[in-house]
Structure 1
Amino acid sequence: MSEIVHFAPRPPIQAPSGGSRGLHIVANSYQIKVKISIFQYSVHFEPLLDSQRERKRRQKIIDRLIDESLAPLRCVFDNTSLYSFGSPLDNVQFQVVDTIQGKKQDFTIGFELVRESNPGDNSFPLQQLNVLLKGVQAQNGFVQIRRDMVHPANKQELPKYRLEIWSGTRFSIYLSQKGPMMVADKIHSILRKDTVLDFLNKNDGIRREDKVESLEGMFILTKHGDNFLTYRIVKVLTDQTPRTYTFMRRAGKDATVQETVEQYFKDCYSITLKPNQPLLLCMATGSGGRVFKITASSKPVAIPSELAFMTGIPEEFHSDFFAMKEIKDRIGSSPQERKRQIEDVTRTLFQSPQFPQSGIEAISNTMVPIDARVCAPVVLRWGGNKQEEVRNGSFRDSVTRNTLIAPVALQKWLLVYQKQDERNIAQFMDALRKVAKNPQLVANPDKIIVDNERTFFDQFKKDFGPQYKDHQLVIFILPKKTTTLYRNLKQHTNCACGVMSQCIISKNIQRINLSVISGLWLQIVAKVKGSCWRIQNPTWVKQNPESTKKESGGVMVCSIDVSRSMKKKQSYAALVASYSNDMTQYHLRTMILKGRQELLTERLDKFIKMSIELYERENKAPPSTIIMYRDGVGDSQFEAAVQGEYNMILKGIRDYAPQPVYRPQTAYIMVNKRINHRFFTPNGDNIQPGTIVDTVVTSPLYYDFFLVAQSVNRFTTALPTRFVVLQSDLKWTNHQLQDFTYQLCHLYCNFPGAISLPMPVQVAHKLSLYSQDILDGKDSKISQLPFIF
């Protein structure tokens, strides 16, 4: 039996003090009342279907059972439990027949009541009501794309880019300190006007094999009859066509008929398909519509590629400034407009005749008011012992007028570029020395000149000999932003050579923009282990009196993030820990986790031990406080995360030095950036950077708080980040922890302003994506660097 996990308690509410102040705001949440009971059943198969590889078969069988035998009850199956809304099951045992690979198999399926949850119960599974809310939206014409419900009528055309933007609303029910609430937010989905077949046949220089590989895991949209349907591509069947692929179609209650995809679409939808086209083996997405018989079943289906419309922004637009700007302008809205849209669509939902089927009742149709707090201004330290306050989340002017606090001279470096860029190199060097504010910081580079884009990587790889292996940095001037070339260069320099690299596009040195070059210089300084600016170390960090080993009086901030690959069915974990006292230099590690798992089960203790040892070498003493900001874990996994990862962190500390010789204060904090909460001033403006929300909409189960750190323009709504303190033996006040977290958002040297995440979280986030997209699981020889770009 696993141990009972006790989470960190929420500290008492403090009045604003020490330079902070109070603020009255509203949140996009509405108080509701639950009006429906939920019955949870465990599901038993005889013979057993419990292995991981049989999960899809279990889901398919139960979904069919819900459709054919449990109606008119509203039920949903999450592959672990069956939930019945409103009424219990009349029958708890069924006999079903399933066919796999042409063989029929009989199953006995039993349902055992685990829990009956009634309105007002503390353990009521509120999240299950989100399924009913999606069902209400589906009845009103909304279509589910991934997790979002969007409406075909609410679309904007971008004919120049062959794109459509569909808008919708995301509703979610959660438990707050004030009871059940519903949060509402506007969302958008990008749909392409080109089909998968158009994409495969397009003559754009990309190999067809690479295109096929990129399609796996992608979400598509089709229209069958009167309904829009969305699917996720499991596999591209390049060896099958609509004329050759057959499947068994139900022709009556007990009869089936074998039919080709070509004949099926001709008979059912009067569509004549192109005979020679690949098919897409897909799974239907979403379960909300299924409760009300809106969407297709969950068994795999073969979709003709000419009927599958792609979703998401095409990759070639990512480097197109004008395309991305127009998309952003169409999607973006001012906070006043966003607030008005949320209020209008929520009011419409509450007045909908289908709304009672959601199982909830609105107590109020106005956004909930909150008393928030604005952190004290952050003080940044610059060169020449200068200090400046950051009051609006941005300090671009401070970068311009101040020198960096600890720049490192770029003395031994390599510049790689095409012959055609030779005429621009002199002005590029002049601009680089100008933004460095000290010409002696930038020495003349060694050079490798390549012939053209096609031979860029091969020539560099051939000419990059041992004489360059001890260089501080390699700067590539690329002809254009090409994913393949960028990946090859980064893999070779990081993995094969162990040398830091930096890329810049040729057009940015043809017409010098000092703002771009200034940003480049900040990245260079960070990559050669310099510091651009610093925050003031928190004065409240003290040595634990129980430790007998001398400590530094500083903080080691750590982070973990995991990115999950849809294509390879594995995860890429990034672990980072600061080793400099100013928290700007980081020790890094990457790991591959099989099966797309999210939690680390090994090697974290060794990483923590190594990080403490490195910190001690740099600072002559180990840290007095160790704080782990853990990104990418949902509420349902909090207990497992504490039992696994947090205990490994404590083991790593004990492996470094046993208690009571060394006993630093520790905290384990979850970070959630994909949230639906938005905050506004009462008149609809953005709230100030540094605003903390730790009442009303926060959880009654955990110590959590929301932070809006970054400054945004008046046409964009600020995005908050949620922090959940799962474990902590810090002797800090809650305001000190919140203020320190806000200060860490100012350390990211790639942007002269506060970002939405603390520095270590941003480092881990970028490194996990870098490991997945660029390194592709290969081991980098660089284990210490500020961050990956």
Structure 2
Amino acid sequence: MSTQQDRGRARGRGRMTAIPEKNDEIGRPGDIAGAIQSTAALSSQTLISGTGYVHSTSPSLIPSETITESDAANPEKFRRGGAPTIMQSAPRGKGVEHLIGEFAQMSVHSLGRSSSRSIPWSDLPRTRPESCIDKRGTSGDVIPLIANYIKILSAPTWELFQYHIGFKPDIIEQRKMRRELIIQHRECIKDVAFDGTTMYSFDDLGDEKLFHSRHPVTNENIDIILRKTAKSSPESPNFFHLANLIVRKLLQISGMKMIGRNYYQFDRKIELERYRLTLFPGFMTNVNVYEGSLMINVDLSHKVINKTTIYQRLQDIFNQTNDIKRAQDIATKELVGQIVLTTYNSKTYKLDEIAWDKDPKFAFKKRDGREQSLVQYYNERYRLQISDEAQPLLLSKPSKRDRRAGITGPIMFMREMAQHTHVDPMIRYARLNEFIHDIYDNKEAQKELEKWNINLCDNLVEFEARILDNEQILYNDRAIQYKSEEADWSREGRAMKHINAKNLNNWILVYPLKEQVTEFIYSLRHVCQPMGMNVESPDTVQLPNDRSETYLDALTAKVKKNTDLVLCILPNDRKDRYDAIKKYLCLDNPVPSQMVLSKTLSKRGQLMSVATKIGIQLNAKLGGEIWGVNIPSKTLMIIGIDSYHDSRHKDVSVGAFVASVNPSCTRYYSQIIYQRTTQELMDGLARCIRDSLSEFHRVNNALPEKIVLYRDGVSDGQLAVVAEHELPQIVSTFPKIMPGYEPKLAVVIIKKRGNARFFARNGRNIINPPPGTIIDHTVTNSDWYDFYLISQCARQGTVAPTHYNVIWDRTNLKGTIRVPAVCQYAHKLAFLVGQSLHQDFHPTLADKLFYL
């Protein structure tokens, strides 16, 4: 197994969702730190007394822990090099609670980068081509499916009044506190749905209404201003917003508690004591209009909380050394960029900096011009009493989405945890039906639905989908078929000659002192022969130790211009060593390279299988072609684009561009776009298209007549940017290549991590639909030319479909284009550059899949 594994994505772009960050070490769960959201009062930065504990007004959320006397009594301990002191609060005299580190929200729904659960599809641009009258396909066999959607059956006939809620002075941030202020006027404001800023009521309170309230903590006078903004009916686009509020209310009534954007069943928590983790099962929901029907998309969610607090982690760090500066450096390196959960508002935030020189006495100017310290701010805003005023602060810089809830990553899924989070279709189906029945069996929930005159279907939605015909897998001398229920031909492919096999004549094998490589070399040479690869014996380099410098010294001495490939055996997946080797072999001395962990080669009984997989990967990295499928057009180019946040330069994104350059779409040309702004992306995209077309012309002596571009990494909210800016930029590039050149273009937005799940029946069992299942109606968007495709076999858990949204199509292609591998390649390239290289790779590698 190569260490060049896909370590997952670490981004989130939905409204009010976190941008997850990758951990600095490959495969190692990160210790978590966090920071608080920005506020208008704190302008461009937010400082929070975050190194210690806080008391929450919702004590059921996080377990309590007692403060030690020595820490509380010695506020200067941190300044002298001990562990940082803590912030505590006891407004009700009931102890203290943690500022807790959050490992991740490890549910399939929250891993997506482009989930825009809060955006009604009616607010998104219509991208369905006018020529697409009926997007339903007809090929393939029919298969009955069940989806994780619940229909809202009845159409209410009421009319609602929508109000914007304002507070003066504008210091009330917590939704719970805002609700308390409104409840003071329950006689006038009743039967409402409220999300913190927007309120719906059956009562017409006038165009503008003023109410006077008192702050329950400070006794300060607070004015509540209600301004009527609209009248809403069930046919109104705003109804989806109200429906989401009603569903959230149903979850609250059912006893669930909100963390981030989702609701969790705290009474069903699972303690993983071995890992000091608590797992909370729950649900995510989203109401939207799907092909003309209002439905609730509901899926399982799991919140994993790390019981180790920030305070405990910092204490550990400072107890390991008497050097204050060193301890601060270690803490900063480990914690900055991570995500935490603050219990006083159940939000997650990203830590940008630890302000060692600031403390809670830090004062800022409010909008009314008055100065206020953070001690006062937290007392008034969150009912928190800070007792230690000497602690350093955590700093979070606001962004366009400054209230975020999401995941850290990556997390090594322990088997014990995977048993609870990777549920199979039968269990997931049962849990979703429990969700429906819990609502139906709850009298208060039914009363809430009756109040709004809404009825829910008592079953998940069912419909008919299609299974596409299997593809033939083309090798050099013959084609093979695979079992449709598995879509796996790796066993048959071991003895198949590759379409274009590259010989490995001059290669270097670098390995640590204790490794035994003779058997591996024999196995690799043996298994590559049937593939058509001739593998000579390598130039072996045995290292005295496994330090990064030792690897680099060996490579510097051995790598020559005629070196075909370098294979390094690594004792573990330490990131700094991996990055150093990759930088040297991708930037300084460009040679395709393969990293292999020692433990991968330690299982002697599996060595032939491991060697086979490595041999296939080596041929791809050398520019070889493994297998292909029948392409409906011989003058077709397929492009994949994906992006990744640079882990070193936080304001920079790495855009990866991969394009096919031969008729069988088995050879590729890769490029990188560094972007800080939309304009930089546009300019870089034009350059990449121009260069890839030039490479296609060099290989084929002609330009492609048709181009299919797959665009990954785009949220629903960014769809307009792609349609209105990127697309015209792409189209305008073609005539600049050659006057009159106008290839037929299709642009497809891909979302691999959405919230839709599909189930098939097999007798009395519920199973995953087979690979090749396509869903193009019922749960799709009537304004889009979109569909779901299940393209893989999930051996564990419930299969996740890929969503395709065709926003432009002039190709008139018949059949299916089933080679969106360019998107997977683009992701791997963006990840390598964003995590390890941090700059463009050497151009001599552009025609090789060196990043696999």
1:686 aligned onto 2:768: yes
1:7 aligned onto 2:161: no
Please tell me the residue identity of whatever aligns with 1:668: V
Q: Quick one: distance in 1 between partners of 2:754 and 2:685?
A: 27
Please tell me the residue identity of whatever aligns with 1:215: L
Q: Deviation of residue 378 (structure 1)?
A: 1.2
Once the two structures are aligned, what percentage of the paired residues are identical? 21
Report if the CA contact (8 A) 1:627-1:668 is conserved.
Answer: yes
> Which residue of structure 2 aligns with residue 232 of structure 1?
349
Please tell me the residue identity of whatever aligns with 2:838: D
1:403 aligned onto 2:497: yes
> Which residue of structure 2 aligns with residue 747 of structure 1?
none
Please tell me the residue identity of whatever aligns with 1:657: M
Structure with more of its chain in strand, by fraction: 1
SS of structure 2 residue aligned to 1:515: helix
- Which residues of 2 match residues 325-340 of structure 1 at below 5 A? 325-340=415-430
Q: Quick one: distance in 2 between partners of 1:705 and 1:519?
A: 33
Q: Quick one: distance in 2 between partners of 1:240 and 1:479?
A: 40
TM value normalised by structure 1: 0.76
Q: Deviation of residue 371 (structure 1)?
A: 1.2
> Which residue of structure 1 aligns with residue 805 of structure 2?
724
Report if the CA contact (8 A) 1:38-1:84 is conserved.
Answer: no
Report if the CA contact (8 A) 1:604-1:652 is conserved.
Answer: no
1:709 aligned onto 2:791: yes
Please tell me the residue identity of whatever aligns with 1:667: A
Report if the CA contact (8 A) 1:500-1:527 is conserved.
Answer: yes
SS of structure 2 residue aligned to 1:784: coil
Within the candidate set 595, 604, 607, 2:688 is matched to: 607
> Which residue of structure 1 aligns with residue 826 of structure 2?
764
Please tell me the residue identity of whatever aligns with 1:31: K
> Which residue of structure 1 aligns with residue 298 of structure 2?
184
- Which residues of 2 match residues 14-25 of structure 1 at below 5 A? 16-17=138-139, 20-25=140-145
> Which residue of structure 1 aligns with residue 627 of structure 2?
533
Q: Closer, same or farther in 2 for the Cα pair 1:349/1:473, shift >3 Å?
A: farther
Please tell me the residue identity of whatever aligns with 2:244: N
Q: Deviation of residue 498 (structure 1)?
A: 2.3
Q: Deviation of residue 719 (structure 1)?
A: 0.9
Q: Quick one: distance in 2 between partners of 1:768 and 1:219?
A: 22
Report if the CA contact (8 A) 1:457-1:489 is conserved.
Answer: no
Q: Quick one: distance in 2 between partners of 1:348 and 1:575?
A: 47
SS of structure 1 residue aligned to 2:728: helix
> Which residue of structure 2 aligns with residue 133 of structure 1?
247
Post-superposition CA distance 1:112-132 (Å, at most 9, x none)? 84x6442124x4462564355
Please tell me the residue identity of whatever aligns with 2:836: I
SS of structure 2 residue aligned to 1:644: helix
Q: Quick one: distance in 1 between partners of 2:428 and 2:589?
A: 49
Report if the CA contact (8 A) 1:667-1:729 is conserved.
Answer: yes
Gaps of 5+ in 2: 1-124, 213-222
> Which residue of structure 2 aligns with residue 668 of structure 1?
747
Post-superposition CA distance 1:727-746 (Å, at most 9, x none)? 1012134xx13xx2xx32xx
> Which residue of structure 2 aligns with residue 632 of structure 1?
713
Q: Quick one: distance in 2 between partners of 1:278 and 1:190?
A: 27
Report if the CA contact (8 A) 1:571-1:598 is conserved.
Answer: no
Q: Quick one: distance in 2 between partners of 1:627 and 1:411?
A: 36
Post-superposition CA distance 1:368-387 (Å, at most 9, x none)? 11111100011101232343
Post-superposition CA distance 1:25-78 (Å, at most 9, x none)? 1111111156576777899999xxxxxxxxxx999699998875798564557x
> Which residue of structure 2 aligns with residue 786 of structure 1?
849
Q: Quick one: distance in 1 between partners of 2:273 and 2:679?
A: 40
Q: Deviation of residue 779 (structure 1)?
A: 4.8
> Which residue of structure 2 aligns with residue 579 of structure 1?
661
Report if the CA contact (8 A) 2:543-2:550 is conserved.
Answer: no
Q: Quick one: distance in 2 between partners of 1:15 and 1:259?
A: 60
1:651 aligned onto 2:732: yes
Report if the CA contact (8 A) 1:559-1:575 is conserved.
Answer: yes
Please tell me the residue identity of whatever aligns with 2:672: T
Report if the CA contact (8 A) 1:232-1:284 is conserved.
Answer: no
Q: Closer, same or farther in 2 for the Cα pair 1:69/1:223, shift >3 Å?
A: closer
Q: Closer, same or farther in 2 for the Cα pair 1:580/1:119, shift >3 Å?
A: same
> Which residue of structure 1 aligns with residue 151 of structure 2?
31
Q: Quick one: distance in 1 between partners of 2:780 and 2:728?
A: 26
Within the candidate set 356, 363, 366, 2:459 is matched to: 366
Q: Quick one: distance in 2 between partners of 1:137 and 1:624?
A: 53
- Which residues of 2 match residues 406-555 of structure 1 at below 5 A? 406-421=500-515, 424-437=516-529, 441-453=534-546, 455-461=547-553, 463-465=555-557, 467-512=559-604, 513=606, 514-538=608-632, 541=633, 553-555=634-636
Within the candidate set 834, 837, 846, 1:775 is matched to: 837
> Which residue of structure 1 aligns with residue 68 of structure 2?
none
Report if the CA contact (8 A) 1:39-1:117 is conserved.
Answer: yes
Q: Quick one: distance in 2 between partners of 1:605 and 1:420?
A: 50
Q: Quick one: distance in 1 between partners of 2:492 and 2:393?
A: 56
SS of structure 2 residue aligned to 1:444: coil
Q: Deviation of residue 604 (structure 1)?
A: 1.4
> Which residue of structure 1 aligns with residue 487 of structure 2?
393
Please tell me the residue identity of whatever aligns with 1:118: S
Report if the CA contact (8 A) 2:276-2:306 is conserved.
Answer: yes
SS of structure 1 residue aligned to 2:542: strand
Q: Closer, same or farther in 2 for the Cα pair 1:174/1:464, shift >3 Å?
A: same
Q: Quick one: distance in 1 between partners of 2:137 and 2:789?
A: 17
Q: Quick one: distance in 2 between partners of 1:60 and 1:124?
A: 24
SS of structure 2 residue aligned to 1:22: strand
Q: Quick one: distance in 2 between partners of 1:59 and 1:473?
A: 61
Structure 1 window deviating more from structure 2 (29-38 vs 426-435): it is 29-38
> Which residue of structure 2 aligns with residue 167 of structure 1?
281
Q: Deviation of residue 565 (structure 1)?
A: 6.0
Report if the CA contact (8 A) 2:646-2:838 is conserved.
Answer: no
Q: Deviation of residue 5 (structure 1)?
A: 7.1
SS of structure 1 residue aligned to 2:517: helix
Q: Deviation of residue 555 (structure 1)?
A: 1.8
SS of structure 2 residue aligned to 1:464: helix
Q: Deviation of residue 437 (structure 1)?
A: 2.8
Number of equivalent positions: 686
Please tell me the residue identity of whatever aligns with 1:120: E
Q: Quick one: distance in 2 between partners of 1:451 and 1:138?
A: 61
Report if the CA contact (8 A) 2:144-2:464 is conserved.
Answer: yes
Q: Deviation of residue 402 (structure 1)?
A: 2.4
RMSD: 4.4
Q: Closer, same or farther in 2 for the Cα pair 1:135/1:449, shift >3 Å?
A: farther
SS of structure 1 residue aligned to 2:830: helix
Post-superposition CA distance 1:647-681 (Å, at most 9, x none)? 1111222222233xx33221111111221111111
Q: Quick one: distance in 1 between partners of 2:752 and 2:258?
A: 22
Q: Quick one: distance in 2 between partners of 1:400 and 1:727?
A: 39
Report if the CA contact (8 A) 1:575-1:764 is conserved.
Answer: yes
Q: Closer, same or farther in 2 for the Cα pair 1:777/1:535, shift >3 Å?
A: same
Q: Deviation of residue 158 (structure 1)?
A: 1.9
